[in-house]
Amino acid sequence: MAIRIIFLLSMALLPIGLIAIYQTSEVVEEVRKRSELSLLAMTEHAATEERQVVEHAFGAAQALGVVLQLIREDPIRCQQYLERYLNETEMYSFIGLQRTDGVIRCSSVTQEFDFSGSAGFQDLIENPRPYVDVNLDAPISQTSVLIIMQPFFVDDEFNGYVSVSVPHSTVSEASDRIMDRTPLELITFNANGDILTAEGGFDNVEDHLPDGIELAELVGQKPNVFSGVNRNGQEREFAVVPIVPGVVFALGTWSPNIPLLTNFNSIVSPMLFAVVMWVASLIVAYFSVHRLVVRHINQLGTQMRRFAQNRRLPDLQEANMMPLELLDMQKNFQLMAYSLMEEEAQLEDSVREKNVLLKEVHHRVKNNLQLISSIMNMQMRKTSNQETIDVVKRLQDRVLGLATIHRNLYQTENLSQVDASILVKEITNQLLVVGEQPGATIDVQTDLDQIVLYPDQAVPMSLLLSEAITNAIKYVGTETNDERWIKVHLELIDTVNARLVIINSKGSQPPVLGKTGLGSQLIQAFARQLEGSITIEETDEAYQVKVEFPVSEFIDAPLDY
């Protein structure tokens, strides 16, 4: 039942669980997007100083381009103007006008420079665009610089680049950052993936880059946040934002344990939330069903088992707090139990009455048989014919054997079962009392197993025994010097077969019992009624009758309700 309840409750809670998963997923996705936007905003804020420096340099280059159109052909005047501009701004270390041939003739210094052979120059000439590069050992500035290159046009015709060198020392660290809003490392890079600035310096900057990803791969993408490991194998969150669109980009490296990300990661996943809700609902529902239904059904089942085992009636006091439906069921069971016990009592009274009547019948049959025996006895005293006396005496023995059977039946508790050992012993003793001659003692030895028989088997066995014992007494010996003994054995061969053996000593007068005698015929007939086999053996010293027969199995009769 518990498994069925859990299954049904699971099916009932499935739609609610799916809704919870969907809604929680939406919330988690919204929180994730907000966290990514916040991380991008913090990265962009952290790169404010770098962005301002680059934008100012581009603005200055663009403004200088207008002035240099007028003085570009006068190198001395151009040099004096640009030198004065550097001294007044104190932000740049070099300014020059680079023509399309790669030669700088107009600059903040007096000598000329030829950069026509530098890497990437030809691409810049063919595709004019704002560009930022880096030189860690600039020969003119004598330091590491950012090189800002702004296209220079004369009458809308591309004429070269205004080149502005910004020392890295000018890109100072921001002093107004909040500690938990500052990335572990902030790197800027150009459209070619070249690192322009690094807050931690250029010595170990490669260790902070995302492992397996080149910076050039991040160019052209929208601002995004991704998780990964740096080249030192440390877990990091990376945020990429453009600070000068299409020209300069910032890469912020963040610890995954910052409060913003911790709050995001601590949100219970949708599936876990649904599972927790499902388990909690099952526990509440199961204990509710158990308390309201299952435990009362168990109590009712216990009462039924008690009634089945020892007819103990159910106690309504055990039905405390039981639901009305189950209480009605228990009351109906109690009424059924009372009715069943009343019917059983009536059946017991009926069986008892039948037993009394049957015992009375057996008692009267026994009395009638004894009366017949007494009449035979009176008849024997009136006749002088010995042959008649012998015949009547044999009949009397048989009648008394039947009387013994009926006496045992009305004396036993269970009329359907007869103890064969008691029956054999009583019949043997009775026949000895009647048939033993005065002064002639017979040694009787009995070895009897307790075997229970139906009356249908007990009657033919008793009659067979009576005939065999009568013959044994008659021919056990008549002379004074004869050995006079009789042995009676009743044994259970196995669970379904029994053996009855009567052995008597032979006197000097040989027995006349033959296969054509009445006794032999009766013994054979009774053996057939027992469905057994009979064996008669004779030696010089003894005469033996052995009968083996099956013992019927007792089957309890069904109760007649």
> Which uninterrupted H or E stretch holds 37?
helix 2-46
Closest CA relative to residue 208, chosen from 199, 219, 220: 199
**Alpha-carbon gap, residue 400 to 388, rounded angstroms:** 18
- The burial class, CB within 10 Å (0-12 / 13-18 / 19+), for 103 is middle
The least confident of 113-127, 173-187, 390-404 is: 173-187
> Which uninterrupted H or E stretch holds 57?
helix 48-71
Which residue in this structure is represented by tokens 């572990």? Answer: 184
CATH topology of domain 416-556: Heat Shock Protein 90 (3.30.565)
Give the 3-state secondary structure of residue 241.
strand
> Which uninterrupted H or E stretch holds 49?
helix 48-71
Q: Which residues contact 447 (CB under 8 A, 6 or more apart)?
A: 487, 488, 489, 490, 491
What pLDDT was estimated at residue 515?
A: 44
Query: pLDDT digit string (tens) for 288-317?
Result: 777 777 777 777 788 788 888 887 776 655
Q: Which two tokens stand for residue 431?
A: 């026949």
Give every strand in the sheet of 224-229, ordered side by side. Answer: 195-198, 185-190, 248-254, 235-244, 224-229
Confidence band (pLDDT; 50, 70, 90) for 179? Answer: very low
Sorted by where each begins, the domain ranges of the chain are 338-415, 416-556
Measured in degrees and rounded to the nearest 5, phi and psi for residue 269 equal -65, 155
Q: What's the average model confidence in pLDDT over 213-225?
A: 86
Mean pLDDT of the chain: 81
The rounded Cα 147 to chain-centroid distance in angstroms is 71
Which DSSP category does 224 fall into?
E
What pLDDT was estimated at residue 436?
A: 66
Q: What does the radius of gyration of the chain's CA atoms come to, in whole angstroms?
A: 63
Contact, 133 vs 149, CB < 8 A? yes
Amino acid at 42: M
Query: pLDDT digit string (tens) for 516-560?
Result: 467 788 888 888 988 889 998 888 888 899 999 998 876 654 444
**Alpha-carbon gap, residue 434 to 119, rounded angstroms:** 148
Cross-strand bridge partners of residue 229: 235
Q: 3-state SS of the chain: helix, strand, coil percent to 5? A: 50, 20, 30
- Which string of b and e fits 448-486 if b means at least 16 CB within 10 Å? beebbbebebbbbbbbbbbbbbbbbbbbbbeeeeeebbb
What pLDDT was estimated at residue 547?
A: 93
DSSP codes joined into one string, 475-535:
HS--STTS--EEEEEEEE-SSSEEEEEEEEE--SSPP---TTSHHHHHHHHHHHHTT-EEE
**Alpha-carbon gap, residue 392 to 441, rounded angstroms:** 24
Query: pLDDT digit string (tens) for 220-270?
Result: 778 888 888 998 889 998 999 999 988 999 999 988 877 665 554 444 555
Query: pLDDT digit string (tens) for 324-379?
Result: 777 777 788 888 888 888 888 888 888 788 878 888 888 888 899 889 989 988 88
Query: pLDDT digit string (tens) for 137-173?
Result: 888 888 889 999 999 888 888 889 999 999 988 876 4
Is the pLDDT confidence value at 135 over 80?
Answer: yes
What pLDDT was estimated at residue 274?
A: 67
Contact, 314 vs 334, CB < 8 A? yes
Confidence band (pLDDT; 50, 70, 90) for 174? Answer: very low
Query: pLDDT digit string (tens) for 14-45?
Result: 777 777 777 777 877 787 788 888 888 888 88
What pLDDT was estimated at residue 558?
A: 45
Contact, 115 vs 98, CB < 8 A? yes
Is the pLDDT confidence value at 480 over 60?
Answer: no
> Which uninterrupted H or E stretch holds 323?
none
Task: Provide, rounded to the nearest whole percent, the portion of the chain with pLDDT above 90.
Answer: 15
Q: What's the average model confidence in pLDDT over 51-76?
A: 88
Helices 75-89 and 48-71: angle between axes, nearest 10 degrees: 150
Query: pLDDT digit string (tens) for 378-391?
Result: 888 888 888 888 78
Give every strand in the sheet of 542-550, ordered side by side. Answer: 443-448, 485-492, 497-505, 542-550, 533-538
Query: pLDDT digit string (tens) for 37-46?
Result: 888 888 888 8
- The burial class, CB within 10 Å (0-12 / 13-18 / 19+), for 303 is buried
Q: What's the average model confidence in pLDDT over 180-184?
A: 74
Is the pLDDT confidence value at 461 over 70?
Answer: yes
Q: What's the average model confidence in pLDDT over 482-499?
A: 88
Confidence band (pLDDT; 50, 70, 90) for 513? Answer: very low
Q: Which residues contact 170 (CB under 8 A, 6 or more apart)?
A: 53, 91, 92
What pLDDT was estimated at residue 395?
A: 82
Is the pLDDT confidence value at 190 over 70?
Answer: yes
Cross-strand bridge partners of residue 106: 97
Contact, 38 vs 262, CB < 8 A? no
Confidence band (pLDDT; 50, 70, 90) for 210? Answer: very high
Helices 386-411 and 455-475: angle between axes, nearest 10 degrees: 140
- For the chain, first and last CA: distance in Å? 34
Task: Provide, rounded to the nearest whole percent, the portion of the chain with pLDDT above 70.
Answer: 86
pTM across the whole model: 0.49
Q: Is 246 left (phi over 0), alpha (psi -120 to 50) or beta?
A: left
